[in-house]
Amino acid sequence: MAVVNTEQADTLRMRVREGGTVLVDYGAPWCPPCQTLLPILEELDEEYGSNVTILKVNCDVLPELAAEAGVMGLPTVIVYNGGQPMEKLVGLRPKSAYQGVLDRFAAANSR
């Protein structure tokens, strides 16, 4: 699976409700830290495969999703598990920070 750009709000809501571990990156193309985060997300997608779904939300195109998620700064990464937000990481973090969160939830889902 690849990092998926969310085109419609309903698509994101449906994917989160389906359950499992879903990492959502709320960002914008003009945001330098968001651009730096993209290769990290692509690496995480390769490492976690089908255990984690990774979605990107362009906050300029879908501001209602950013508002629903309480996004106050870019990038904001929210990890959902079982349809519920479990962890919010605001600002660019090292890859290990995202791995730590995903390890807690993705491992539980793969059992």
Residue 59 is a catalytic residue:
no
DSSP letter string, the chain: ---EE--SHHHHHHHHHT-SEEEEEEE-TT-HHHHHHHHHHHHHHHHHGGGEEEEEEETTT-HHHHHHHT--SSSEEEEEETTEEEEEEES---HHHHHHHHHHHHHHHT-
Residue 34 is a catalytic residue:
yes
The residue from 16, 22, 34, 37 that is catalytic is 34
The residue from 4, 9, 31, 38 that is catalytic is 31
Catalytic residue numbers, as ranges: 31, 34
